[in-house]
A and B are shown apart, each in its own frame.
Chain A
Amino acid sequence: MTSLWPRIESLLAQVTKPARYIGGELGAIEPVWDPGRVAWLLVYPDTYEIGLPNQGLQILYEILNERPDALAERAYAPWTDMEAAMRGAGLPLFSLETARAASEFDVLAFNLAAELTYTNVLNLIDLAGAPVRAAERGVDHPLVVAGGHCAFNPEPLADFVDAFVMGDGEEVVGEINAVVAAWRADAGTRRELLPALAQVPGVYVPSCYAERVSVDGGRRIEPSVAGVPERIEKRTVADLGQWPYPKRQLVPLIEVVHDRLNVEVFRGCTRGCRFCQAGMITRPVRERPAVQVQRMVRDGLARTGYDEVTLTSLSTADFSGIEQTVAAVIDESDGTAQVAVSLPSLRVDAFTVNLAAEIQRVRRTGLTFAPEGGTWRMRQVINKLISEEDLYAAVESAFSQGWRRVKLYFLIGLPTETDDDVLGIARLARACVEIGQRHQRNVTVTVSVGGFVPKPHTPFQWFGQDSVQELRRKVALLKDAVRGVRGLSLRWHDPQATVVEGLVSRGDRRVGAVIEHVWRNGGTFQEWSEHFDLGKWTAALDECGLTLDEFCYRDRDEHEPLPWDHVSAGLHRDFLWQDWQDALAEQGVEDCRWTPCYDCGACTGLGVEHVVASPVPPAGGSQGTGQDRSLGGAVPVRFLRTPTSTRTTPVLAGATVVGSEP
């Protein structure tokens, strides 16, 4: 129970960014340790600068520390120089608040926001002094739990994690705490704890399930002990207004990503972009009352001293209280402290640009749009129904109102994609440059191209993704098509990393051995281009007798068991299959917030409805879904009774984010 601080501090002079390891953030809580509290170490498996802003982790940190029977501290992955120094000095993973060894905690809880961090998860369990494989851990080791978007395919980490949490964590974290507290009071064994946890709705305990291989080679995860559910349904918080978290957002001493106030305005999305896992697994839409958003913004700015706030969600311009909220935030600016507002995930239309113009009177530098597909045909396939006119109007509006840089996000490697679809990206981008040059002398259009990774619980979960070679060929096509165009710059994501992300995203339990192999060969921080190493992954696949063809490159058929069939995000499999068929038929679907239900399963199965603050779609309708914009009002929506207060899904991978750039 001693603080490791003096030993930690003695290492800091030799490492980069030493303030990553000192804690001391505004809002940090130094908990009282007493035996009546279950001690949680909340761990983000990437660097401090990436992990600190994670709103999911901050929400659970506050909720746990408010409980009389729990306490929570935080840890992030030490950078490679610090890890080497720690291992050299015999220091384990430690908490930031009280500098305690990870082994003093009852629970190590990981936030899984990106698949390429999985080797870091293993590394951190090891740094905590515990065996990485769950089966080898005993009563003296912390319980290892994990949640977050990636938990919706838990199998690649099933050998290492004791329990996964599906869906929103606000409520279930207390239920898990109660089970651990009761088990600890009885001095139980690990073998008694895990089945008890498996009884908590939304919790998947891999050791209570086994993989069964049928004669046709299909692999299914089925209960191996009595009394656990066959299918684990995700947890969903019905009313965000009841959860005004984080109340005290952490303000770090050093610069981090998203270094500003973040207020979550809604959770869930029903635009139905078929490539977007976040949009599928977080349904239904649950808005925070606009009045509560405004209060959280006002209080948050006053408490933190930030001069910038992001209204977070998967599509913030769709927030039905957006105009009044933006107006209220701008009124807050009192002339001395100039508050900037940023809206991630903007729609592509002139209304949105006008909104951005209203809030970015200062620091107007860049705007980002994500058409995602280069041709109308492609955008019908992915159900992102932005017309060329929409895009050009948005770009025209941006350049005419003083923006000089526009960024466009696209995906390549999408289902049914032809070379003409790829080249359509270049055509759109050149047209945008021409529009800009009508308004300003020097404009920049940056085209950012990501390789598409099919994700579980989406209509594209059956799709065989493009190979490294094919993605490279498509990037080369684009490079040729934009060569010499003044004002246009092209960036692309490493196709090798795209393929490994695909392997881990749709892998089954066998992929765990691959992850362990890569970790044992020093493959940490695979999210970082300077550390990513495809060779380590292909060597590990060979070692395990597995191939990328099996997990990534082949189309899967309708009745093949999928590795994540035993966990549910509420979506009916036949809905997803139908949506996949509609995609192949180039058929879009409308946003169901303001149209009749498609019975995807999310609302009915969970007993939750869309919660929107207004019965009328926002100006511009739910553009991007091909919806009739005259529609509005006659839709079954539940009104919020009393406005109350927040949590934020981590902002998505670049590919699905549209937004204004501060």
Chain B
Amino acid sequence: MRVRLRFSKLGRIRWTSHRDVARLWERALRRARLPVAYSAGFSPHPLLSFGLALPTGCESTAEYFDVSLAQPLDPTEVVDRLGPMLAPGTAILAAAALPDGAASLQEEVTSCTWQIDVPAVTPAVLSEVSAQLLEADTLPVRRARKGRMEVDDLRPSLRALSVRAGHDGPGSVLDCELGTRPRGVRPVELEQVLGFALGPARRTCQWIEREGSRWEPLTPDAAIAAGVVARA
């Protein structure tokens, strides 16, 4: 059976890479002695499947992975056994069994919501620039690809943009939704079109959009959150 987990990555651990996080989960699953299924063949490896890579340095409350188990197990038991084994800064937010034949996260997710600190710009200024971006037809950005500089249009991937006041100080917070097709746009790419240096970014949602409606792969589970709080 396959179980899908939603987890957070907050604090210092945001400086680890996507691959580092995959290894951390592999070790945590072994520490929890969960019956993870392994691939067959010459070099067996645990059957884990991670969603869209989170850029190194970003935080998230919406990371996912799917794990294949060799024996059926209640997802709540997976959470109970795995929860205490996690590195500081990671916590499980939801878990559910996946139906047979469910598509992978990579295939399904169409956009992500990001919350980005912009400590040096006031909400008034940022709102004005944001409105201009939303009105623009194209938003060219330069990026290195296979060693060459290419120009890409960011506009089709910019699904939503709004501004609010920062938690402390005169700065702002930018809430935005960025598309993942044909490629996942990273929050830092907005710096080129905004003209401002951005602070830390946090992914808060991943969205699956199909036939006019959209939903998250898993919504945060209040019962699991309560368990996490109780343990802490």
Interface residues of A (CB under 8 A from B): 9, 12-13, 18-19, 21-24, 26, 251, 253-255, 302-307, 336-338, 362-365
Contacts and interface: CB of A to CB of B under 8 A. Distances in A.
B70 A255 contact: no
Contacts of B15: 12, 18-19, 21-22
Interface in B150-165: none
Nearest to A26: B87
- Give the residue among A23, A24, A362, A364 with the most B Cβ atoms within 10 A: A24
Contacts of A9: 12
B88 A336 contact: no
Interface centre among B26, B31, B44 (most CB of A within 10 A): B31
Interface of A is mostly: loop
Contact of A13 (B26, B42, B57): B57
B38 A336 contact: yes
Given A303-B31, A362-B44, A24 B17 contact: no
B117 to A, nearest CB: 12
30 contacts: A12-B15, A12-B57, A13-B57, A18-B15, A18-B56, A19-B15, A19-B17, A19-B56, A23-B12, A24-B12, A24-B88, A24-B89, A253-B24, A253-B87, A255-B23, A302-B31, A303-B31, A305-B26, A305-B28, A305-B29, A305-B31, A305-B85, A336-B38, A337-B30, A337-B36, A338-B44, A362-B44, A363-B43, A363-B44, A364-B42
A364 B23 CA distance: 21
Nearest to A23: B12
B85 A254 contact: no
B52 interface: no
Nearest to B188: A13
A254 B87 contact: no
A24 B87 CA distance: 8
Interface of B: 12-13, 15-17, 19-20, 23-24, 26-31, 33, 35-36, 38, 42-44, 56-57, 70, 85, 87-89
Interface centre among B12, B26, B35, B56 (most CB of A within 10 A): B12
Given A303-B31, A336-B70, A253 B20 contact: yes
Contact of A307 (B19, B30, B33, B57): B30
B20 A19 contact: yes
Given A18-B57, A338-B38, A253 B27 contact: no
For the complex of A and B, 8 pairs with smallest distance between CB atoms: A305-B27, A305-B31, A18-B15, A305-B30, A22-B12, A19-B15, A19-B16, A337-B30
Contacts of A12: 15, 57
Given A304-B27, A305-B85, A336-B35, 15 more contacts: A18-B57, A19-B15, A19-B16, A22-B15, A22-B16, A24-B88, A24-B89, A253-B13, A253-B20, A302-B33, A304-B31, A305-B27, A306-B30, A362-B43, A363-B44
Nearest to B198: A13
Contact of B13 (A24, A304, A365): A24
Nearest to A252: B20
Nearest to A20: B15
A337 B20 contact: no
Nearest to A28: B88
B11 to A, nearest CB: 9
B16 A254 contact: yes
A254 B20 contact: yes
A18 B24 CA distance: 16
B31 A253 contact: no
Contacts of B19: 255
Given A12-B57, A18-B56, A254 B17 contact: yes
Contacts of A19: 15-17, 20, 56
Contacts of B42: 363-364
A12 B28 CA distance: 26
* Most B C-beta atoms less than 10 A away, residue of A22, A253, A303, A363: A253
A337 B27 CA distance: 10
Nearest to A22: B12
A18 B12 CA distance: 10
Contacts of B31: 302-305
Nearest to A301: B30
Nearest to A336: B35
Nearest to B25: A305
B28 to A, nearest CB: 6
Nearest to B36: A336
Contacts of A26: 87
A19 B30 CA distance: 23
Contacts of A255: 19-20, 23
A306 B24 contact: no
Contacts of B28: 305
A19 B19 CA distance: 12
Nearest to B41: A362
Nearest to B34: A336
A337 B28 CA distance: 12
B134 to A, nearest CB: 27
Nearest to A12: B15
A119 B20 CA distance: 31
Contacts of B27: 251, 304-306
A26 B27 CA distance: 11
A12 B13 CA distance: 12
A338 B17 CA distance: 25
A253 B18 CA distance: 11
Nearest to A303: B31
A145 to B, nearest CB: 30
Contacts of B29: 305
Nearest to B26: A305
Contacts of B44: 338, 362-363
Contact of A337 (B12, B33, B89): B33
Contacts of A338: 38, 44
Nearest to B28: A305
Contacts of B89: 24
A132 B228 CA distance: 49
Contacts of A307: 26, 30
Contacts of A337: 30, 33, 36
B33 to A, nearest CB: 7
B15 to A, nearest CB: 4
Nearest to A365: B43
Contacts of A24: 12-13, 87-89
A119 B38 CA distance: 46
Contacts of B38: 336, 338
Contacts of B87: 24, 26, 253
Contact of B16 (A13, A253, A336, A362): A253
A175 B31 CA distance: 37
B56 to A, nearest CB: 7
A5 to B, nearest CB: 8
A443 B23 CA distance: 31
A21 B56 CA distance: 14
A12 B57 CA distance: 8
A251 B43 CA distance: 23
Nearest to B56: A18
Contacts of B88: 24
B26 to A, nearest CB: 7
Contacts of B85: 305
Nearest to A18: B15
A11 to B, nearest CB: 11
Contacts of B70: 336
A303 B16 CA distance: 21
Nearest to A25: B87
Contacts of B57: 12-13, 18
B22 to A, nearest CB: 11
B141 to A, nearest CB: 18
A251 B16 CA distance: 14
Contacts of A303: 31
Contacts of A336: 35-36, 38, 70
